[in-house]
Amino acid sequence: MITTLDDFVREYEKIKAMGWIPTRRPGPTGIGKTLEDLLGIIENNLDMPDFGNYELKSVRTNAASMLTMFTKAPQPPRSNGLLLNKYGYVSEGIYGNDTKVLHATLSADRFTSIRGNNQLKICCEEDGIYFESQNGVEDIYYKRETLRDCFNRKYKGTFVYAYADSRGAGLNEEFHFIEAYAVSGFSYDEFAELLERGIIKVDIRIGQYPDGRLHDHGTGFRIRECDQVQLFKSREKIA
């Protein structure tokens, strides 16, 4: 059982030298289960560090899927309703009624076309992040402090990110662990830069319940898991 960062580095170097390692579990969580088993970490679902003061994250370097960092409605209050009324569209083929919905994945590096000849993107300003249409910047936004608080609530500890190449699938998947980083502290500047480069996406997800009522699934900030380490102010390669 490892208890310190030095313990982790020592054992992780041994794991790197093992080359390709068969998964201990099929599916998305297989990489984490495999590394935890090799390190002697007992699997649990508790909100606590995996060893010492560190939470361990295992990442496939070639994974293209996006994960949601956090969800947060923009300001001022009822802004999602304003976006829906202005840019929403009727989706008869899905819901069979004339109630508007709005599903769109936005980034800051280009406009996203919305049904009805509208376009939206994210605009990064000095004081925060705004929604922008082809007609100009909307007064709908996230302040720097709001985004920092959202991130710090979700990622409130110190982390070790362990990266592995993967091949195969299911029970036949294998991992080759190649490097690891110790990270901490949210960097808003890095966050904004990743948005501007289109690496972070913003998902608007306003749909309907089966009875026709609006269902706001939450506006989500999404990123590929392998890019997450770039969000942290302190990043140290440890193995």
pLDDT in tens, 76-134: 998 988 998 899 988 766 666 677 889 999 999 999 999 878 999 999 998 999 999 99
Residue 9's contacts (CB-CB under 8 Å, 6 or more residues apart) are 180, 238, 239
Name the CATH superfamily, with its identifier, for domain 67-148+189-225. MvaI/BcnI restriction endonuclease, recognition domain (3.30.70.3570)
Length of the chain: 239
Instruction: Give me the pLDDT at residue 97, please.
Output: 66
Average pLDDT, the chain: 91
pLDDT for residue 186 is more than 70? yes
Alpha carbon distance 18, 90 (integer Å): 55
Q: Which tokens belong to 219?
A: 């506006």
CATH architecture assigned to 5-63+155-184+227-237: 3-Layer(aba) Sandwich (3.40)
Alpha carbon distance 95, 192 (integer Å): 36
Instruction: Give me the pLDDT at residue 212, please.
Output: 66
3-state secondary structure of 171: helix
What are the extents of the domains in the chain? 5-63+155-184+227-237, 67-148+189-225
Angle 34-35-36 (CA atoms, 0-180°, nearest 5)?
Answer: 95
Alpha carbon distance 113, 84 (integer Å): 15
Q: Is the dihedral of CA 9, 13, 14, 15 positive or negative?
A: positive
Q: What is this structure's pTM?
A: 0.87
- pLDDT band (50, 70, 90) for residue 162: very high
pLDDT > 90: percent of the chain: 76
pLDDT for residue 136 is more than 70? yes
Instruction: Give me the pLDDT at residue 95, please.
Output: 61
Q: Which tokens belong to 84?
A: 């829906």
